[in-house]
């Protein structure tokens, strides 16, 4: 009954979004429910509709942090994403860029994320990250501060990232859900507020996340983990989806998929993991060194979850200025 009601109301939600650029909370919840009810088939249908109306971005030379993704290389990477749910590009980001972004965190106040045991409604804490004396499991950096960073701007307009995102999405990408955070060993038990239990994302209709390791990440340093193939339609069992948008224990996930499909990405700094986080994923709890990750996302539409407005106040990177001039709608969410 609920599925039928959401299917009936959804065209109104799409019409409202087309007119205003806004998604009502009920419409986002309907998207989640319809994903769970159809195992992803509803999202696939919406993506086909978006593809029909999309004008592709012309990426003349798809060379960037992922290497040369011209021609077959781009197709092979997209095929790997479709089959496995992820693609790894080792040591893609230069050391000097990693170091500058680490330095950014030494100078920029971060939001200290509330942990599982803390009372909802406690005042938001802001602090400079201190690796020797962490205050919590996770520190998040403000989106506007990231948008003002020249290195982040260069990644937002990187030709190889844009080309791969467009190839995978099948439509023009939209920059979205930009974030960066430290994970620490403040306590070593998994924390749901820090996304350290398995879960799927469902903020948008279809998207691609780019995780950039800015520190070396060993097995004890909270490696990102993913269940291979769980991003595909029908890839998450109906029994799990019936529970909705919830965190899942390692035990129940491994009991269904087996340990061979659990991929832990222990890798040196500069590694880029491109992933469809519709599949089950988590950040493993840190027991060793703190881990710093930069996350970019490209979506086929901004329909879905509503985030606090963040604005790109000034363009510092020439390549970003060029892409904005060619296709300003890619960054419309931040303008």
Which tokens is 148 given? 């003002």
Residue 257 domain-assigned? yes
pLDDT along the chain (335 residues), means of 10: 90 94 95 97 97 86 93 94 97 95 97 69 82 91 98 98 97 96 82 71 98 97 97 97 91 96 97 98 93 98 94 96 95 92
Residue 19 domain-assigned? no
Which tokens is 248 given? 């899942």
Residue 138 domain-assigned? yes
Residue 6 domain-assigned? no
How many Å is the maximal CA-CA distance in the chain? 55
Q: What is the CATH number of the domain that holds 321?
A: 2.60.120.620
Q: How many structural domains compose the chain?
A: 1
Q: What is the pLDDT of residue 121?
A: 58
Residue 308 domain-assigned? yes
Which residues have CB under 8 Å from 76's CB, separation 6+?
A: none
In 36-48, which positions are buried (b, 16+ CB within 10 angstroms) versus exposed (e)? bbbbbebbeebbe
Residue 20 domain-assigned? no
Q: Is 319 exposed, middle or buried (0-12, 13-18, 19+ CB in 10 A)?
A: middle
Which residues have CB under 8 Å from 198's CB, separation 6+?
A: 225, 227, 247, 248, 249, 250, 253, 280, 281, 282
Residue 191: count other Cβ atoms within 10 Å of its Cβ. 22
Domain that holds residue 75: 39-334
Q: What is the pLDDT of residue 190?
A: 60
Q: What is the pLDDT of residue 40?
A: 97
Residue 72 domain-assigned? yes
User: What CA–CA distance (Å, rounded) separates 141 from 182?
Assistant: 9
Where helices occur in the chain by DSSP H, the ranges are 2-20, 25-38, 41-53, 72-84, 95-107, 143-147, 150-156, 159-169, 238-241, 250-257, 318-326
Residue 62: count other Cβ atoms within 10 Å of its Cβ. 22
Residue 22 domain-assigned? no
Which tokens is 36 given? 């769970």
Question: For the chain, what percentages of helix, strand and coil (3-state, to nearest 5) are there?
Answer: 40, 20, 40
Write down the pTM of the prediction.
0.93
């Amino acid at each position: 009954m609920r599925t039928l009601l959401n299917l009936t109301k959804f065209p109104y939600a799409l019409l409202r979004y087309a007119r205003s650029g806004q998604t009502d909370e009920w419409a986002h919840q309907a998207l989640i429910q319809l994903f769970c009810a159809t195992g992803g088939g509803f999202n696939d249908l919406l993506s086909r509709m978006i593809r029909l109306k999309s004008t592709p971005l012309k990426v003349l030379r798809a060379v960037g942090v992922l290497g040369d993704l011209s021609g077959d290389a781009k197709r092979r990477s997209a095929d790997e994403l479709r089959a496995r749910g992820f693609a790894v590009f080792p040591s893609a980001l230069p050391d000097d860029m990693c170091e500058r972004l680490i330095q950014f965190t030494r100078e920029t106040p971060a939001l200290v994320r509330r942990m599982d045991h803390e009372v909802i409604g406690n005042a938001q804490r802001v602090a400079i990250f201190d690796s020797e004396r962490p205050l919590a499991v996770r520190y998040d950096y403000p989106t506007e501060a990231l948008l003002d960073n020249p290195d982040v701007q260069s990644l937002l307009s990187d030709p190889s990232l844009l080309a791969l995102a467009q190839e995978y999405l099948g439509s023009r990408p939209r920059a979205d859900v930009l974030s960066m955070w430290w994970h620490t060993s403040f306590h070593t038990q998994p924390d749901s507020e820090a996304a350290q239990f398995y879960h799927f994302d469902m903020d948008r209709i279809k998207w691609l996340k780019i995780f950039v390791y800015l520190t070396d990440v060993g097995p004890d340093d909270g490696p990102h983990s993913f269940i291979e193939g769980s991003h595909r339609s029908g890839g998450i069992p109906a029994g799990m989806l019936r529970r909705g948008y919830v965190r899942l224990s390692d035990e129940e996930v491994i009991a269904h998929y087996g340990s061979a499909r659990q991929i832990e990405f222990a890798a040196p700094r500069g590694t880029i993991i491109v992933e469809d986080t519709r599949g089950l994923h988590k950040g493993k709890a840190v027991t060793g060194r703190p881990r710093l990750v930069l996350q970019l996302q490209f979506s086929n539409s901004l329909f879905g979850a509503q985030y606090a407005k963040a604005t790109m106040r000034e363009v510092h990177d020439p390549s970003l200025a060029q892409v904005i001039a060619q296709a300003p709608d890619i960054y419309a969410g931040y303008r």
